[in-house]
Each structure stands twice: as C-alpha cells, then as structure tokens.
Chains A and B, each alone.
Chain A
Amino acid sequence: MGRDMSEPLLRMRGVSKTFPGVRALSSVDLTVRAGEIHALMGENGAGKSTLVKVLTGVYPKDDGKIHFAGETIAPASPREAESAGISTVYQEINLIPRLSVAENILLGRQPARFGFLNWKAIHRKAERALERIGLRIDVRREAAAYSVAIQQMAAIARALDVEAKLLILDEPTSSLDEREVEDLFDVMRRLRDRGLAILFITHFLDQVYEIASRVTVLRNGERVGECETANLPRLELVAKMLGKDRAKLESGGEPRTAGTKRAAPGVPADSEAAREAFFQVRGLGRRGGVEPFDLDMREGEIVGLAGLLGSGRTEMARLLFGVDAADTGQCLLDGKRFAPSSPRKAIDRGLAFCSEDRKTEGLVPDLSVRENLILALQASRGPLRLLPRKEQMEIAGHYIRALDIRTPSLETPIGNLSGGNQQKALLARWLAIQPRLIILDEPTRGIDVGAKAEIEKLVQSLRERGMSILFISSELEEVVRNCRRIAVLRDRKKIGELTGPDIDERKVMRMIAETDEGRDFRGGVPAVPNDPPREE
C-alpha cells in the first residue's frame, strides 16, 4: 500500500482509561491512515471497545492525545465525534427495524419543506447514499425486511452520509455468512479506494489477512503491536493476541510449559487412550454456531478446548448441553443415542455446564448462597420433593468448606460475594448434582490469581475422582497445563486434537494460525475457502 507516507488521518498517542478497579487502557497508540483498512484485534478484555468508545466520545479519556485530520480533538459525545468525521457502525446494528431503510438512513436529517417531510427527497437521498456503496434496494421497505447483511450496509451508508473521514466497523462480520462477508468486503474496498480510512474490529484471522493492510493488536489494555499484515506471519499474530513471545516459541529454547508441568502430581502418565469413551459426539453442528465436530470424552479425563475468541468454543459447549439446538449430528452416551435438546435433559444424563457468563447465565443474584448451591440439584428432584432444609444446609456447608468459599453466611445473597467466590459457588452448584461430565467455560475468567489456582486444583481433584471435564479457556497456558488432550478450534470449526506429549503452546498456536490449506500465507490472498470463485 504505497500511499502511507503522508501524515496519518488519526493518531492516538498514550491514551489511558481507568474504570474503578480496572485499568482498561494503558498508554495505547493507534495510527490510521486515509485510504487504508486497519484491523484492531484482541481477545476479551483487551480494550478494543474501550478504545473505540474513547475515540467516539462515549467515554472521556484519562490521559493521552487524539489527533484527527490535522487537529487535536477531544470528543465529548458520539455526536461531536461524528461531526468531526468519525462514524461508527456497532456490532448490534442500530437501525430502527420498523422504519423504512430511507428513514433509517436519514433519521434526524430528513429534508423538509414548510415543516413537512419531503418524501421524494428522502427517498432520493437514501438511494444515492446506498448507491455510493454499490447497493440498489427498495428504500421504502422497512429495515427489518432485509437480511442482516443489507441492514449492516444500510447502517454503513448512514454512517457515511455524514461526511465521514474515518469509519469504525465494530465486528461487522460476526453475524454474516461467507457470501455476505464478501459483499461487505467489496464495499469496504471501494470505500478505501476512495480515500476513506476504515478501522475494522474483528476476531477472524482470515478476514484480517484478506482485507486489512495493517493491524493493531491490544492485550490487557496495552498495545502489543502494530504491523503490516503482509509482513506478519499468522503465528506471530496469534502469539501476540495470546500474549506470547513468538521468538521464544520459535527458537524452542524455552522449556515446554506443558512438559515441566506435566510432571506435576495429579497428572499421571496417560493410559486413557485404551479406555472406552463413555460420551461420543459425532458430527454435531449448528449453522451459524459451529461446524460439525466429533469429540470423545472418557472418565477421569480433562479435555481442553483451545482457540481464539469467537472460534466456536462456547458454541460447542452450548450444543453439548442442549442450550442451543444442533441441526446435525448426534451424541452417544454409554452407547445409547442421546440428543441434547434442553439443559434439563442434559442434566438428567449426567452433564453439567458452568457458563462463561457468570452474571447472565450463572448467578441468581438475589437468592442466597445456599439456594444457589442447591438450585440445580433441586431442579433435578422436581418442584415437589423439596430437599429438607437440614440437608440443604449440609450440602451448602460441605461445599463452602471443601471449596473454601468465603461468605458471611449461607443466607447471604450470592450477588454480594466477590467474583472468585461466586465462581466457586457456581462450580459447587454443579458438583452437587455429581455429574459425569462437566463443561467448564472460562472457569477462571475475571477472578484473582489465588482463586484461579484453587479452581485449577479443584479441577484436577475432580478428574482424579473419575469425573470427565471439558475445560475451555482463552488462557492458553491454562489449557496446556491442565489438559491431557486438547481440541483446537478456528473460525467455528474444530480443526484437530493434540494429545499427551504433543501438547505445548507452540503447537496449539501453530494449529490456530494455519490456514485450511496448511500454508502460513501472508496477506492479500483471499481465504474464504467455500466461496464460489469471483474475480478480485
């Protein structure tokens, strides 16, 4: 991309932002040039959203400078940012579904004559706005009548209609299919060629290489790198996102994290391959969720799921537990067919699922620790056979001691506990039903280091007692440390497994970074394998 010698359009320098108890951004730099598509990447909690919100005036920044189009700006509201020329299209498309496309595009700026809306002008202007991105649709129909992709583009058209110089697209492709992604990319290329700068937030590696010329990677609120995609091996990008030093990994000089920890007590030599898997998944999949996959689970075994954010780990767990319905494939439990169609049925068959989203899918915040602990157990007993109060207290008391849950009393609302103690209490909820297979989705997210270690210890002791554990974590070293078998996912697809001695961080990252053709290719080559051939 030869045009980047000029003064960049956007230069953010040393931007910091702290929320109570969290340093969301620490001295982050971001440079975006006119006429480039710049990718912004990072795992959960990396600070992508915060950075965008500072840039668009949603949050005030604590420190740092923003230069935009030759001026220093400090937008205090999204409107101010917009009038400076920064437009944003958010992940959840903010069109009003019942209004027509035209109204949506011109909302708040409708041309009027004598106080009356000039519909002809509205439709003409909307059509022109859409033509600019190469879209011809009936602007009189309501927005909800069109596909998500079209709505996405209408939102872009609206964003551009305010003389934008920089367009921010926040995970625009996460709900689009491959074909729609290509259409969106066509629009993005056209806009880029016209000199617009695009900041493209995504977690799909292939898409970054397909469309972006440069990429900025954030991790834990810091910028860990800014590179030309053409010169950035995929492995290095993955390593950056996961916070690994690629040089060390490549040299092989580093003692294998896995190897050293492998010798630790609690992880005996593997003899499990001989044992029969009691739970077998065959071709389970869901459109828009995760592509069909196979998985075997044995008793007393911890299987890890590794992959980047959005790679389909959680989607896999939700299919297994019946939260989302699978549209293909089946499970075999002890050789018998089992279709996970609801959490209730999964629980009855001995499954448990500790969700990554503690707040919305785990805690019942106003109920007491005791009630939260026995909820799943009581649910499997049904509404009438109430666990006797004494037994409830015993069970809750037992797990509070066993897991060292710090709570003032059994009757304290669980919402009042600290994150780590909440997490332990939710684990206890599932242990109380004595499951055969427990799915732990990010069991250590958002809790302090001490609690993390305790949970890992607990997971090992469960395995020793013969429980089968599916362990999901975005902390690669955690997966490598705890699991004897790892299923690796990329772009909503299980791409392989590593077992026993093969497990180390570098191998996992290599698998994540590989393309479907197995090449470590660099920028420019389209990487949407199933797309019909189309000229570039």
Chain B
Amino acid sequence: MMRKGLRFHLDGGRTIWPVLGLVALLVLNLIFSERFFHLEILDGRLYGTLVDVLNQGSKVMLLAVGMTLVIATGGVDLSVGSVMAVSGAVGAVLVTRTEIPFPALVACALSAAVLMGLANGVLVALAGVQPIVATLIFMVLGRGVAMLITGGQIITFEDRAFVFLANGHFLGLPLTAAIVALVLAGTALLTRGAAVGLFIEATGNNETASRLCGVNTRMVKVLVYGFSGFCAGAAGLIAASNIKAADSSRVGEMMELDAIFAVVAGGTALTGGRFTLIGSIVGALLIQILTTTMYNLGVPPTIAPVPKAALIIVVCLLQSEQFRRHFVGRREIARPTVPETG
C-alpha cells in the first residue's frame, strides 16, 4: 500500500496517460498492420518494426533524458538540435582528417557538446537570461558553428567503429538501444541514487526557497544544461553514424520540439519541479511509434504533422487536471486560495 502510494507520487500519477496513449497506438497497429509486431532473428540479431522503433527513437530518447532535467528546473533547451549538428561535425571531421582512436573522437565530440550546454547554463543561471532566449541563441549559433567545422560541406565517412555506433548490434539488439539504456540508467542513478534529483526538483519548484535552504541553485542549473548538451552530443554522433555523414544543415532539425514534447507528454510539467525519466522515454517512444505507424499506414509525409499535432493535443489535454475534471470526471481536491490582504 505504502509502496504503491509512493510510486504514484514519484511520477505524480501522470505517466499513466502517455502509457495509455502508447497502448492505444499499439492496439491500432495490431488491428491495421500485422507486420508491426512481427519479429525475426537473423544471425542472432533481432529484426522487426518494433526494433526499428527502438533504433530510430534512440536520438529523441537521449535528447528527452537531458531535456527532462532542464525542464524540471523550469527551463527549456532549444539548442539540442544544433548541438547534435556540432557533435556530428566534430566527429566527422576528426574521423576523416585525423588518425585519433575512436574513443578519443567520441570524447572530443561530447566535450564540444557539453561545452555548448554549459554555455547555455551560464547564460541562464549566471547572466539571468531567459532559458528560451539563451538556448535560442545557441540554436542559431550552434548550426553556424557546425557549418564552420564542416566548411559547409556534407562530410561522409566509412570508419567502421563510427558506422557501427548506429548500425551495430549488442546482445541481439541495436547498439543504440543499449546506449539509451546506459544513459538512462546512469541518469536515474545520479538523480535518484544521489541527491541531484531532489535538488533539481526543489530548484524547479521553488528556486528562492531552495537557495535559502543552501541548495546551490545556480550550479544545479548550469549542470543540467551541460548534461542536456552531453545527451545531445551522444544523439548527434548516432545521427551522423546513421547516415555515415555529417550533414550540418539538416541533422537534428526540429528535434528539440520532439524532445520537449516527449518530456511534457511523459508527465514532467513545463513549469518545473517533479520529473520522470521513464515518462519521457515513454513520450519519446510514443512519437516514434506514431511516426512509424503513419509510415506503415501509408500516410504521405507531407501531411504527417497533422496526426502528430492531434496526438500532442490529446496527450496535453489528458495531462491537464482541469480538462480531466471536466471531461473525464476525475475529481481532485483543489487547494483553497486566500487572496493577499493588508
């Protein structure tokens, strides 16, 4: 009883809605496309649409993990798509023009991404710039930097290690799924196994009170943006590996919006405070399955945004307590508010 109450409280009971959405989509697929759940094993590797979903969705899932922490502090990171481009560009240039070992290449690309993230954080936490403005600056700037690194060219590569990143397998599943699992587990350990999660939630829920409690709220904010940069950097390497090229002008385009949607649909409010990593992963899968479903059903890509928007509206309405109270009939006790007097 106690444990159950606890679980529900941890995600604010909101993860239930994206999970329901996910189930509904899967049921839809079960009815309309029998191939969707078809899985087969070739050479000890698992193939099938669901596996593709995991592989294709890995980038948004990674972005969503970083974005969750940023949004939990009450901020938002619009620069992740551009950071992906920078990290991919650094990776591609290093792999084609130098002989450095692959791990060093990954470290360089991720460092560049983390630096951009930290710069976002410094603008937000120390300079007091609005998160949306600060990260918008880096959204624009980042793509320029990426173009500068690649010299405006699409740089292709054939390096085996780099290509393996997004196309290889690990334990029969795509390597990307393992990377997501690793990042997710690490993040969960750091936030819930240490006090980092508490500090992030406290900062997002009431920054002043947290600061007066001795929480270094500025440091918390700088670090979450840095971490979001790290996640975007990893996603950027996967994106480059995926197409065996760094395409600075196109990679990660509009993906910041997918990531934000994944987080919000997953049950983390844009106002900050409580966050749920699992919810964000579910949100990211929701988007990916919807994309795949539409592809399977033969919806032309030009009108694909319409059903996507419809889904976003439905999930957001379900997240709204007011909407649920009116239309779903679930009543919750509202806190009495007393106006200031005197």
Chain A positions near chain B (C-beta within 8 angstroms) = 19-22, 24, 42-50, 221, 321, 323, 343-344, 347-348, 353, 355, 360-368, 371, 375-376, 378-387, 409, 411, 415-416, 429
Contacts and interface: CB of A to CB of B under 8 A. Distances in A.
B209 A385 contact: no
B9 A411 contact: yes
A361 B208 contact: yes
A391 to B, nearest CB: 12
A371 B215 CA distance: 13
A46 B342 contact: yes
A386 B212 contact: no
A47 B342 contact: yes
Nearest to A376: B213
A364 B335 CA distance: 15
Interface stretch (B52-60, B126-134, B193-201): B193-201
A366 B273 contact: yes
Nearest to A221: B341
A382 B199 CA distance: 10
Interface in B286-335: 335
B339 A19 contact: yes
Contact of A368 (B2, B9, B211): B9
B212 A24 contact: no
A61 to B, nearest CB: 14
B202 interface: yes
Contact of A364 (B2, B206, B338): B206
Contacts, number: 113
B336 interface: yes
17 contacts: A19-B338, A19-B339, A21-B336, A343-B213, A343-B214, A360-B209, A361-B212, A366-B205, A367-B202, A379-B213, A381-B195, A383-B195, A383-B199, A385-B194, A387-B195, A415-B335, A429-B213
Given A50-B342, A347-B214, A367 B201 contact: yes
B193 to A, nearest CB: 7
Interface residues of B, number: 33
Given A19-B341, A20-B336, A344-B214, A360 B208 contact: yes
A384 B211 CA distance: 17
B202 A21 contact: no
Interface string B210-227: 111111100000000000
Contacts of B5: 409, 411
Interface in B1-21: 2, 5-6, 9, 12
B274 interface: yes
B213 A375 contact: yes
Nearest to A354: B212
Contact of A379 (B2, B199, B273): B199
Pairs A-B, 8 closest by C-beta atoms: A379-B214, A45-B342, A24-B341, A347-B214, A376-B213, A386-B195, A364-B206, A379-B215
A50 B12 CA distance: 37
B209 A364 contact: yes
A367 B274 CA distance: 8
B11 to A, nearest CB: 12
Contacts of B213: 343, 347, 375-376, 379, 429
A384 B198 CA distance: 11
B338 A21 contact: yes
A22 B202 contact: no
Contacts of A416: 335
A386 B193 contact: yes
A343 B211 contact: yes
